[in-house]
């Protein structure tokens, strides 16, 4: 029997799962790294994507000893690299079809 998927976590649950203090979560939300639903920390809800981003942000901050501003920039750059890779893949597929004709 499989367990149900977690759709959203509140602030307390998110802090427990990520092992981050609420002050860290508030700080990285302030830097735009995470964008929870809700207006105030007590109302914030985080989805599975936010959980993945938080884990990557923590890894970048720890491994590269970056400030949160640097983590935000690194995440933006990684997102852009992923977008460019997907675009490159799509263009290679189109080119391959053109060359086969």
Q: Is residue 3 part of a domain?
A: no
**Structural domain total, the chain:** 1
Write the DSSP string, the chain: -PPPPP--EEHHHHHHHHT--HHHHHHHHHTTS---BSSSTTT-EE-HHHHHHHHHHHHHHHHS---HHHHHHHHHHHHHHHHHHHHHHHHHHHHHHHHH-
Q: Is residue 65 part of a domain?
A: yes
For residue 6, the model assigns a pLDDT of: 60
Closest CA to 68 of 40, 101, 19, 34: 34
pLDDT in tens, 23-51: 999 999 999 999 999 999 999 999 999 99
| Domain limits for position 64 | 9-100
CATH code for position 14: 1.10.1660.10
Q: Is residue 86 part of a domain?
A: yes
Q: Is residue 67 part of a domain?
A: yes
Q: Is residue 56 part of a domain?
A: yes
């Amino acid at each position: 029997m499989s367990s149900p998927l977690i759709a959203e976590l509140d602030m307390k649950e998110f802090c427990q799962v990520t092992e981050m203090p609420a002050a860290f979560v508030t700080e990285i939300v302030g830097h735009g790294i995470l964008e929870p639903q809700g207006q105030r920390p007590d109302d914030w809800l985080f989805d599975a994507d936010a959980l993945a981003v938080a884990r990557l942000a923590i890894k970048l901050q720890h491994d590269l000893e970056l400030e949160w501003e640097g983590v935000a920039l690194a995440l933006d750059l990684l997102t852009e690299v992923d977008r460019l890779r997907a675009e490159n893949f799509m263009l290679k597929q189109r080119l391959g079809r053109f060359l086969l004709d």
